[in-house]
């Protein structure tokens, strides 16, 4: 009896308590300098929302560690108020278990279905007709960054697509440059990431997505797939032997200093060029979708989920934060600092650098948008494929046929 | 302290090997081996120190072994108070006192419990005692991540998840196997006559422990402190999961400084931050080096 | 009376070790029981109890990453064990010759133990890098054919890990063994000198057998380090090049924390623990035998005294 009254009283307080200061803990892995500036924009906006809210920053470097901590905190009954994920299947079990707050009312009020673009990224948060997360930015993997100097020194024109680069590679090598810059740290994510882009270009968006979505072994076993593997392995002769444990930063640095000609890496690489005082297009080349004429943008990035809270006041604050994260001003401030694209097109991004402008243009064309593989396959499958690609690259005794057979096997067993 | 040490079983632990004192060829070879080994150990430290004193552009040039062309201590200042670790850019400093707050009670409690374990296992072997001991030793081999789930659930049920006590309990649990082995072997080397005499005088379990065993345990306790301080001070995994946001240890900040997936890296700050974080265990090694060896001597005389 | 008192005393001992029992049973036994149980489920992100039989084990033994890991742990384990013990023992013996600056040297050998492997692993990675590491430096000094970049080649990368492992672990081994040496009766050296026995024979036939205990302690510490090796691999090679430096603990932890496949991670953990059970059972057996022998020796000594 008494308990009920108390609960009712506190609930009433919570609803009326817009004026009550609410602390909301946010777990994320934005810890480097640029990322820090970006997350500070979120925090600043939330702290100043006029409701007395307070952003408690729980940064944990490394997506794997951060996500694991989020899970364990939920399991331990101490869920954070908000948490970062990458769009895809990382949080599907949380949705299934009913551990995430539904944001349908916030989404309806903010017209998320209309303003979030491209439409494809909505499906990362819109599951079975309910909103479970807020997309906050778009990062794309599909970039080739190149240095002008080696091409000039070898007497070659700048490449306009990846095939041209491959054709130029022997000449670049003969001129004393490392044509293809790549690094093999952290289980070979740079290698598998680069292969994803080459595969995407080789199969096309539709076919590639079908293979991952439907676990289609026919596509996995197709000659096009084999060709992509063969072409990829052929690149190894144009990389240097120091690739094995190199970090992506150091790999990008080889392009910055002109030691190497070209690197395939996500849009965050611009941060390294900027740190070296270089501006895109003017000082270095960038191709999105590995092809200037037909760009492809993979809409990877970050989303924020809101684990369910027992306190109604906290829930109200979660919804305020959700609405805020996607509001135009916050989107611009955050993404300009982060170097990523906003998730809505109705904002002014004219201050973005020239490479980013290419992506902003491409993202307006639905036929140029690709989903990240993580939307269709589980982390388990994606890691197995990544390990395979990395193994294939490093093991000179493994043939493309053997790699393809293993690839088919993994796709077949995927769930 | 030193008087207690010399009265214990670790007495007279001065070097007593074979004694060729003159400067012979063998002696030169001996020093040669020790010095070359020391260099092998020191090379990574040298690289860390010089890297921490270089600017980033210079590090990118890749002269790994060279001295800095322009010396800078800025990375050290940044590592301590300016490096970004999320929204805030306050370096390692915010977590320092949390680490102290976790380390001191965890070290104390885990050592008290393990010393009682070791004492009971050496002198009061009840039926089944060795089975428990065997299980503990087995536990030392299990990767932490594997037994973390039941532990999270258990701590949730007693409302200690995400609290200071929660993390102290976790450190006590995971420190127990090695510490118990340590104390058990140490007490096993104590002449049983001492124990028998006390029993004849009518002393009980706790009396013998407090009055006889504890005063003799100073050296081994120094060893235990060193092992535990190193382990707990450097722990990241348990701290981030079990301690709760308000008690996050310094290693969370260290990890945020040195680890990044797609952000830019500042290697000089990474190096400085690592050395700063290791400073506390290093100071403890240095201060207690003498006792360290004596303690282990006594503990390991008879396995 | 005496009987009751004895029982009461034993009760104090039991009460005193209650925390140990709780931890041994409550954490390790129950934890491991759950581990085994979950290895038969299809647990993904969180542990669940949907049983799937031996599916996880079946998948495990088809996974190249696991097969490589199983192979690596033996190479890594045996090499590290032999070299860390041998190197640690040599250091300990040499340190025991009344040398100068013992405190300084000991601190130097021990410091790697205190440093975060995330960064020291990175430094080792740099040192072994062919473009600016040791190989490059030695070559620029004139030895144009010098080769020392094990991490680059999938066939040799594991040996690079062994080198860094020795660097990290030998100091502790040295300290334990040095301590063991210090515990040995000085009379032995006198006796040996009088009898004219060569020093190396004293070490091999008298000292080493007497140091059983400390060698055992060092062995256990290194073994625990080998079985649980994770940070070293992650920091230095990330399991690469390719999958060539995978280790069982890395596989288990990656399965749980990166692939969200708790079931398979638990299956791998269960397999990992089998050899540990075997070794501990052997040691336990050895212990029982040696205690019996010791007791017999004490009895004999008391009889003669």
CATH number at residue A44: 3.40.190.10
CB B88 within 8 A of CB A37: no
**ipTM above threshold 0.90:** no
Q: Based on the fold, state whether residues A167 and A103 are members of the same structural domain.
A: no
Instruction: Report phi then psi at B164, rounded to 5.
Output: -60, -40
Q: Based on the fold, state whether residues A208 and A271 are members of the same structural domain.
A: yes
What is the share, in percent, of chain A residues with pLDDT greater than 90? 65
Nearest to A27 by CA among A77, A87, A94, A72: A72
CB B87 within 8 A of CB A40: yes
pLDDT at B18 over 70: no
Residue B251 has a CB neighbour count (10 Å cut-off) of 24
CB B89 within 8 A of CB B83: yes
- Range name among A49-58, A100-109, B252-261, C291-300 with the lowest pLDDT average: C291-300
Alpha-carbon distance of A148 to A158, in angstroms, equals 7
Q: Do A392 and C239 make contact, defined as CB atoms within 8 angstroms?
A: no
What is the share, in percent, of chain B residues with pLDDT greater than 90? 32
pLDDT on residue A12: 39
Alpha-carbon distance of B139 to C21, in angstroms, equals 13
pLDDT on residue A226: 96
Q: Do C181 and B13 make contact, defined as CB atoms within 8 angstroms?
A: no
Q: Based on the fold, state whether residues A335 and A383 are members of the same structural domain.
A: no
pLDDT on residue B296: 41
Q: Based on the fold, state whether residues A129 and A154 are members of the same structural domain.
A: no
Confidence of residue B4 (pLDDT cuts 50, 70, 90): very low
The answer for A 182-201 residues in CB contact with B (under 8 A) is: 186
Please give, rounded to a whole number of angstroms, the shortest distance from the CA of B270 to a CA of chain A.
12
DSSP per residue over B254-294, as a string? HHHHH--SSS---HHHHHHHHHHHHHHHHHHHHHHHHHHHH
Overall average pLDDT of the A145-166 stretch: 94
Q: Provide the β-strand partners of residue A370.
A: A298
Tokens 């500036």 belong to A37
Overall average pLDDT of the A315-320 stretch: 94
Alpha-carbon distance of A188 to A182, in angstroms, equals 10
pLDDT on residue A20: 62
The domain of A22 spans 16-139+300-345
Q: Based on the fold, state whether residues A129 and A238 are members of the same structural domain.
A: no
The subunits that touch chain C, with at least 3 C-beta pairs less than 8 Å apart, are A, B
Alpha-carbon distance of C62 to C46, in angstroms, equals 23
pLDDT on residue C290: 67
Overall average pLDDT of the A153-161 stretch: 93
Chain C residues with CB-CB distance to A388 below 8 A: 64
Q: Do A188 and C238 make contact, defined as CB atoms within 8 angstroms?
A: yes
Please give, rounded to a whole number of angstroms, the shortest distance from the CA of C173 to a CA of chain B.
11
Vertex A381 angle, CA A379 and A386, to 5°: 90
Confidence of residue C292 (pLDDT cuts 50, 70, 90): low
Q: Based on the fold, state whether residues A204 and A270 are members of the same structural domain.
A: yes
Confidence of residue C167 (pLDDT cuts 50, 70, 90): very high
Q: Do C47 and B149 make contact, defined as CB atoms within 8 angstroms?
A: yes
Q: Is residue A7 part of a domain?
A: no
Name the residue in chain C with its Cα closest to that of A250. C126
CB A187 within 8 A of CB A389: no
pLDDT at B16 over 60: no
Q: Is residue A287 part of a domain?
A: yes
pLDDT at A5 over 70: no
Q: Which one-letter DSSP state was computed for residue C44?
A: -
Alpha-carbon distance of A411 to C63, in angstroms, equals 14
Is A77 an 8 Å CB contact of chain B?
yes
What does the mean pLDDT of chain B come to? 82
Q: Do A58 and B60 make contact, defined as CB atoms within 8 angstroms?
A: no
* Residue A339 tokens, joined: 């170097």
Q: Based on the fold, state whether residues A156 and A286 are members of the same structural domain.
A: yes
Q: Based on the fold, state whether residues A89 and A177 are members of the same structural domain.
A: no
Q: Based on the fold, state whether residues A47 and A24 are members of the same structural domain.
A: yes
pLDDT on residue B8: 33
Q: Do B263 and A268 make contact, defined as CB atoms within 8 angstroms?
A: yes
- Range name among A153-167, B8-22, B203-217, C270-284 with the lowest pLDDT average: B8-22
Contacts of C233 (CB under 8 A, 6+ apart): C161, C239, C245, C246, C247, C250
pLDDT on residue B2: 33
pLDDT on residue B302: 37
Chain A residues with CB-CB distance to C149 below 8 A: 241-242
pLDDT on residue C24: 87
pLDDT on residue C301: 57
Give the torsion through C-alpha atoms of A346, A350, A351, A354, to 10 deg.
120
Alpha-carbon distance of B294 to B296, in angstroms, equals 6
- Given CA atoms A321, A324, A330, A332 in this order, what sign does their dihedral have? positive
Please give, rounded to a whole number of angstroms, the shortest distance from the CA of A183 to a CA of chain C.
10
Q: Do C97 and B259 make contact, defined as CB atoms within 8 angstroms?
A: no
A155 vs C282 pLDDT, higher one: A155
Confidence of residue A132 (pLDDT cuts 50, 70, 90): very high
Q: Alpha carbon of A291 to those of A143, A200, B278: distances in Å?
A: 9, 12, 48
Give me the residue from A71, A244, A246 closest to C45, CB to CB.
A71
pLDDT on residue A150: 95
- Range name among A125-139, A282-296, C39-53, C104-118 with the lowest pLDDT average: C104-118
Name the residue in chain A with its Cα closest to that of B166. A76
Chain C residues with CB-CB distance to B121 below 8 A: 17
Most confident of the following: B208-212, C80-84, C186-190, C277-281: C80-84
Nearest to A78 by CA among A289, A410, A311, A284: A311
Q: Do B18 and C97 make contact, defined as CB atoms within 8 angstroms?
A: yes
pLDDT at B165 over 80: yes
Q: Do C260 and A413 make contact, defined as CB atoms within 8 angstroms?
A: no
Confidence of residue B23 (pLDDT cuts 50, 70, 90): low
User: How would you classify residue A183: left for phi > 0, otherwise alpha for psi between -120 and 50, otherwise beta?
Assistant: beta
CB B208 within 8 A of CB B198: yes
Name the residue in chain A with its Cα closest to that of C135. A242
Alpha-carbon distance of A40 to B85, in angstroms, equals 11
pLDDT at B291 over 80: no
Q: Based on the fold, state whether residues A276 and A242 are members of the same structural domain.
A: yes
pLDDT at A95 over 70: yes
pTM strictly above 0.90: no
Based on its alpha-carbon atoms, the radius of gyration of chain C, rounded to whole angstroms, reads: 24
Q: pLDDT tens digit string along B219-245? A: 678 778 878 888 899 898 899 999 988
Alpha-carbon distance of A30 to B259, in angstroms, equals 11
Contacts of A388 (CB under 8 A, 6+ apart): A403, A406, A407, A410, C64
Q: Alpha carbon of C190 to those of A222, C93, C98, C187: distances in Å?
A: 80, 17, 16, 5
Q: Which of A345, A378, A403 is the last residue of a domain?
A: A345
Confidence of residue B19 (pLDDT cuts 50, 70, 90): low
Most confident of the following: A361-370, C229-238, C245-254: C245-254
Alpha-carbon distance of A16 to A10, in angstroms, equals 10
Please give, rounded to a whole number of angstroms, the shortest distance from the CA of C39 to a CA of chain A.
16
Chain C residues with CB-CB distance to A245 below 8 A: 125, 129, 151, 236-238, 240-241
User: Parallel, antiparallel, or unpaired: how do β-strands A54-59 and A82-85 relate?
Assistant: unpaired
Is A54 an 8 Å CB contact of chain B?
no
pLDDT at B83 over 50: yes
What does the mean pLDDT of chain A come to? 89
Q: pLDDT tens digit string along C176-202? A: 788 777 767 667 778 888 888 888 888
Q: pLDDT tens digit string along C73-115? A: 999 999 999 999 999 999 999 988 878 888 788 888 988 988 8
DSSP per residue over A76-127, as a string? TT---SEEEE-SSSTTHHHHHTT-B---HHHHHHTTHHHHBSSGGGGGGTEE
Q: How many domains does chain A have?
A: 2
Q: pLDDT tens digit string along B120-153? A: 988 887 778 888 888 888 888 888 878 888 889 8
**Chain A residues in contact with chain C using a Cβ-Cβ cutoff of 8 Å:** 64-65, 67-68, 71, 75, 90, 93-94, 97, 184-188, 240-246, 378-380, 383-384, 387-388, 390-395, 406, 413
Please give, rounded to a whole number of angstroms, the shortest distance from the CA of A179 to a CA of chain B.
19
Is A302 an 8 Å CB contact of chain B?
no
> Could you tell me which CATH class the domain C65-304 is placed in?
mainly alpha
Q: pLDDT tens digit string along A274-313? A: 878 899 889 999 999 888 888 888 888 999 999 999 999 9
Instruction: Report phi then psi at A248, rounded to 5.
Output: -65, -35
Q: Based on the fold, state whether residues A79 and A94 are members of the same structural domain.
A: yes
What is the share, in percent, of chain C residues with pLDDT greater than 70? 90
Name the residue in chain C with its Cα closest to that of A377. C259
pLDDT at B292 over 80: no
Q: Based on the fold, state whether residues A280 and A309 are members of the same structural domain.
A: no
Q: Do C238 and A185 make contact, defined as CB atoms within 8 angstroms?
A: yes
**What is B93-300's CATH number?**
1.10.3720.10
Instruction: Give span(s): CATH 1.10.3720.10, chain B.
Output: 93-300
């Amino acid at each position: 009896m008494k308990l009920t009254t108390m609960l009712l009283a506190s609930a009433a307080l919570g609803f009326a308590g817009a004026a009550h200061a609410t602390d909301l803990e946010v777990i994320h892995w934005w810890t480097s300098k640029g990322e820090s500036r970006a997350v500070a924009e979120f925090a600043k906006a939330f702290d100043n929302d006029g409701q007395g809210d307070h952003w408690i920053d729980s940064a944990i470097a490394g997506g794997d560690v951060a996500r694991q901590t989020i899970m364990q905190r939920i399991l331990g009954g101490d869920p954070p108020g908000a948490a970062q994920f990458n769009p895809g299947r990382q949080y599907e079990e949380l949705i299934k278990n009913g551990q995430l707050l539904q944001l349908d009312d916030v989404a309806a009020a903010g017209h998320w279905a209309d303003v979030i673009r491209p439409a494809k990224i909505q499906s990362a948060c819109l599951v079975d007709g309910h909103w479970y997360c807020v997309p906050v930015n778009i990062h794309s993997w599909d970039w080739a960054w190149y240095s002008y100097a080696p091409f000039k020194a070898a007497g070659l024109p700048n490449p306009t697509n990846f095939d041209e680069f491959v054709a130029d590679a022997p000449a670049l090598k003969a001129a004393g440059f490392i044509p293809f810059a790549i690094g093999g740290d952290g289980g070979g994510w740079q290698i598998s990431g680069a292969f994803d882009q080459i595969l995407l270009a080789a199969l096309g968006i539709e076919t590639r997505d079908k293979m991952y979505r439907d676990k289609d072994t026919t596509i996995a076993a197709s000659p096009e797939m084999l060709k992509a593997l063969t072409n990829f392995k052929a690149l190894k002769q144009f990389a240097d032997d120091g690739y094995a444990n190199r970090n992506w930063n150091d790999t990008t640095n080889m392009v910055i200093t002109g030691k190497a000609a070209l690197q395939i890496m996500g849009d965050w690489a611009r941060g390294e060029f900027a740190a070296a005082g270089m501006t895109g297009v003017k000082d270095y080349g960038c191709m999105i979708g590995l092809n200037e004429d037909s760009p492809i943008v993979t809409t990877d990035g970050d989303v924020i989920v809101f684990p369910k809270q027992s306190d109604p006041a906290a829930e109200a604050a979660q919804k305020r934060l959700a609405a805020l994260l996607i509001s135009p001003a916050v989107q611009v401030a955050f993404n300009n600092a982060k170097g990523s694209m906003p998730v809505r097109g109705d904002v002014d991004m004219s201050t973005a650098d020239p490479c980013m402008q290419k992506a902003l243009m491409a993202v307006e064309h639905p036929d140029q948008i690709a989903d990240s593989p993580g939307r269709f396959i589980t982390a388990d499958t994606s890691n197995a494929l990544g390990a395979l690609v990395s193994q294939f690259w490093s093991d000179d005794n493994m043939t493309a046929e053997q790699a393809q057979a293993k690839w088919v096997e993994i796709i077949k067993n995927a769930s | 302290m030193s008087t207690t040490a010399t009265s214990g079983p670790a007495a007279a632990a001065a070097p007593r090997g074979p004694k060729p004192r003159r400067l012979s060829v063998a002696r030169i070879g001996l020093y040669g081996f020790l010095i070359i080994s020391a260099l092998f150990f020191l090379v990574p430290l040298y690289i860390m120190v010089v890297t921490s004193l270089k600017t980033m552009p210079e590090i990118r040039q890749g002269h790994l072994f060279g001295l800095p062309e322009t010396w800078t201590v800025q990375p050290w200042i940044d590592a301590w108070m300016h490096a970004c670790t999320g929204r805030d850019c306050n370096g390692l400093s915010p977590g320092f006192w949390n680490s102290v707050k976790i380390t001191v009670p965890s070290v104390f409690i885990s050592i008290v419990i393990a010393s009682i374990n070791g004492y009971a296992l050496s002198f009061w072997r009840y039926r089944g005692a060795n089975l428990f001991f065997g299980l503990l030793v087995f536990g030392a081999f299990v990767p932490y991540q594997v037994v973390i789930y039941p532990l999270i659930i258990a701590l949730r049920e007693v409302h200690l998840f995400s609290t200071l006590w929660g993390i102290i309990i976790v450190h006590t649990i995971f420190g127990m196997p090695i510490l118990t082995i340590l104390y058990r072997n140490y007490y096993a080397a104590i002449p049983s006559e001492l124990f028998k005499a006390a029993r004849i005088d009518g002393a009980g379990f706790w009396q013998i422990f407090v009055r006889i065993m504890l005063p003799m345990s100073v050296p081994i306790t120094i060893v235990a402190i060193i092992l535990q301080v190193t382990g707990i001070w450097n722990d990241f995994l348990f701290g981030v999961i079990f301690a709760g946001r308000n008690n996050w240890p310094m290693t969370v900040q260290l990890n945020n400084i040195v680890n990044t997936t797609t952000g830019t890296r500042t290697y000089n700050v990474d190096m400085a931050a690592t050395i700063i974080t290791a400073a506390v265990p290093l100071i403890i090694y240095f201060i207690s080096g003498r006792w360290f060896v004596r303690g282990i001597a006594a503990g390991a005389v008879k396995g | 009376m005496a009987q009751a008192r004895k029982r009461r005393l034993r009760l104090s001992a039991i009460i005193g070790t209650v925390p140990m029992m709780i931890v041994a049973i409550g954490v390790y036994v129950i934890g491991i029981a759950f581990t085994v149980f979950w290895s038969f489920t299809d647990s993904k992100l969180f542990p669940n109890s949907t049983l799937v039989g031996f599916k996880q084990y079946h998948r495990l033994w088809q996974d190249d990453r696991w097969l490589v890991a199983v192979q690596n742990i033996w190479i890594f384990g045996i090499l590290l064990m032999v070299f860390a013990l041998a190197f640690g023992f040599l250091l300990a013996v040499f340190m025991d010759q009344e040398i100068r600056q013992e405190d300084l040297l000991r601190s130097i050998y021990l410091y790697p133990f205190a440093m975060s492997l995330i960064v020291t692993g990175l430094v080792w990675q740099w040192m072994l890098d062919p473009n600016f590491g040791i190989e490059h430096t030695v070559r620029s000094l004139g030895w144009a054919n010098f080769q020392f970049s094990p991490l680059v080649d999938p066939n040799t990368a594991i040996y690079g890990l062994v080198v860094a492992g020795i660097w990290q672990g030998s100091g502790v081994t040295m300290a334990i063994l040095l301590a063991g040496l210090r515990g040995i009766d000085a009379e032995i050296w006198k006796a040996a000198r009088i009898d004219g026995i060569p020093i190396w024979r004293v070490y091999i036939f008298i000292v080493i057998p007497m140091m059983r205990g400390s060698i055992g302690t060092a062995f256990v510490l290194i073994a625990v380090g080998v079985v649980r090796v994770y940070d070293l691999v992650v920091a230095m090679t990330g399991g690469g090049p390719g999958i060539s430096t995978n280790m069982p603990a890395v596989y288990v932890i990656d399965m749980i924390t990166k692939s969200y496949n708790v079931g398979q991670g638990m299956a791998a953990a269960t397999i990992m623990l089998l050899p540990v059970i075997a070794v501990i059972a052997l040691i336990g057996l050895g212990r029982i035998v040696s205690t019996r022998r010791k007791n017999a020796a004490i009895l004999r000594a008391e009889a003669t005294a």
